[in-house]
Structure 1
Amino acid sequence: MAIELRHLRYAVAAAHYGSFRRAAEALGIKQSSLSRRIRQMEDRLGVSVFERSSSGVRLTTAGNEILRTSQHLVDGLEHMVASAKAAGRGEAGQLSFGFYTSLSAGNLRASLMEHARRFPEVEIRMVEAARANLFASLRHGQLDIAIITGEPAAREGEAMALWSERIMVALPESHPLATNEIVYWTDLRSETFLLSHRDPGPELRDILLVKLASPKFVCQDASRESIMGLVGAGFGVSLICEAGICASHAGVVYRELQDGTGPSRISFAAYWRSDNDNPALMNFRKLLEERYPVPTS
């Protein structure tokens, strides 16, 4: 004797409204359809669930017991349907997000906060890893999207240009240049640059090689925090993206780097797989397109 959850849902609505007509209107179906389905349920159960009269309907003793014991099934069905619809619209579910830049401030942090405000039911799974690992995770479907420094490159999948950030120099607070508001690349010719092997260290190193003919730099297999610790201790200077300067490090000050054309900047891009149909990804991409539109010529 199989009773469809849909029939129970109709019966719950009829009991709530005390009327087949009002229950059908609330559910958006024809009254005849609702009445027929409830009659089919009663036939299968072999008992009357409702007493019918010209003034409406009310539960029989058997009907009241049936709906009381099956209410959790109806509630579960309603929750399941609502959750499925929300996930289909990208308003619930999960978004796997890869990055390696700082989240202490800047556009990346602001974008994630705005997404959380718009879609609070979407769980964001954060993955901080090296550039090569992020691309590998994208290819294998372990990530939905990754934010990576540099202009969009011709890679497997899709990409879009996002924002750019100023490149800052981190100096010991006792450094003679620390009193300057702006530091020029030429001021740093004799400095020792401390960089990380970890991203975005290699890209900052490449920029350094372009700006200075023969810079002296030491690459460490260390985190940004450890590099800043060495700077504060007076072992050298370093480069950092603008979003990272809100993190305070003892003995370290940050100054804007410029050349003859103005501030030096580093760009960011988003990457995702073209066959990824996660609705939460689609909504996050729309948010990025809204916040960082492609400039029109």
Structure 2
Amino acid sequence: MRRRLRELSDPDEPSLLLRGRVPLASLIQALAVAEHLSFYRAANALGVSQSSVSARIKALEEDLGILLFERNTRGVRLTEAGRLFVERVSAGVEHLDHAVKSAGMAALGECGRLRIGVYGLIPHSFLANLIGRYRDDYPGIDLEIAEGTAREAITQLRAGHLDIAFVVGTPDLPDCRSRRVWTEPLVVALSDRHPLAGQEHVTWADLAGETFLVRPGGPGPQVHDHILLRLAGRWPAPTILRIGVERASLLSMVGQGFGVTLLGSASSLSPVADVRFLPIADEPEPVVFSAVWSPFNQSAALRNLLDLADEMRR
């Protein structure tokens, strides 16, 4: 018996369960007998015959080489070895049940992790509301938010470090999928001491000759090209400065009078000291924001986020 117990506990020896010699049903029936201390009541609880339970328990004891139950005319009782065995099996079955439930929830996108790349998270914006709704609807999902430029987000996406990225524009990437998610009117941010700050709106003609501050990353390249397109042939010509700072620092520079910048209208939802946000009256195109993700990512959590974005956009 001692040699048999050593074999069962040998870490280098594959378990009987792994070798297929102990069916899970036998373990479940052993737990039922241990709970009811009766083959008859255990069989009734499981909806099987008493003879089936007796045969399985006997086969289990033979496979293990251990007597789990002492039988007598009044029923059965656990041996000391049986008591220890049942304790361990009960914990293992609970872990297995938890694993099965967790896997099912993950398959439905109700638990797990979702890693999101953003250019910025402005309070009350579409993106902030989307993430807020998603957290409410799927509290079992751990959200990881990474802020950076579109180029950085796509690199992280390709490396498998992000599940989805929200970027400005409509990127055409052969190895990624993308979808337009929302749009925002274009606004100009300028110092509240700027000569145009008192107006309700501006036109592109008003902005001719201005110094535009543009970030190299994020929407910077698109903004640069958009300025050149809208002010082509106008005089005086605009000056475009590439400023390698984050959004908050860029707006601080605008407030100090270094120049003006272009943003989506969601930026005006979060007031910035010394900065005015004015709509551009003759700008025909809104700013487009897209979601980008890998075609190989089959995460249900990702699918649920995209579905929620579609629902909120409607």
Q: Same fold by TM-score, threshold 0.5 exceeded?
A: yes
Question: Which residue is equivalent to 1:116?
Answer: 135
User: In the alignment, does 2:282 pair up with 1:259?
Assistant: yes
Shift of 1:198: 2.2
Question: Which residue is equivalent to 2:308?
Answer: 287
Shift of 1:17: 6.8
Question: Which residue is equivalent to 2:180?
Answer: 161
Give the alignment's TM-score, normalised by structure 1: 0.80
Q: Verify the 8 A CA contact 1:99 1:129 in the aligned structure 2.
A: yes
Higher strand proportion (structure 1 or 2): 1
Shift of 1:106: 1.4
Letter in 1 for 2:66: G
Q: How large is the Cα RMSD of the aligned pairs?
A: 3.1
Shift of 1:64: 4.2
Shift of 1:53: 8.7
Write the distance in 2 (CA, Å) between the matches of 1:23 and 1:118. Answer: 38
Shift of 1:122: 1.9
User: In the alignment, does 2:296 pair up with 1:278?
Assistant: no
How many residues end up aligned between the 2 structures?
285
Instruction: Tell me the percent identity.
Output: 30
Q: Verify the 8 A CA contact 2:151 2:217 in the aligned structure 1.
A: no
Shift of 1:52: 9.0
Letter in 2 for 1:89: L
SS of residue in 1 equivalent to 2:172: coil
Superposed CA deviations along residues 146-176 of structure 1, whole A, max 9, x for unmatched, are 2211125253232222110122211212233
Gaps of 5+ in 2: 1-7, 9-15
Pick the aligned partner of 2:151 from 103, 126, 132.
Answer: 132
Q: Verify the 8 A CA contact 1:5 1:74 in the aligned structure 2.
A: no
Write the distance in 2 (CA, Å) between the matches of 1:181 and 1:16. Answer: 77
User: In the alignment, does 2:81 pair up with 1:60?
Assistant: no
Write the distance in 2 (CA, Å) between the matches of 1:286 and 1:51. Answer: 59
Say which one has the larger Rg: 2
Within a 5 Å distance, the mapping from 1:92-241 to structure 2 comes to 92-153=111-172, 155-213=174-232, 214-241=237-264
Q: Verify the 8 A CA contact 2:186 2:283 in the aligned structure 1.
A: no
Letter in 2 for 1:235: F
Superposed CA deviations along residues 196-230 of structure 1, whole A, max 9, x for unmatched, are 12211222222222222232222211111111111
Give the alignment's TM-score, normalised by structure 2: 0.77
SS of residue in 1 equivalent to 2:296: coil
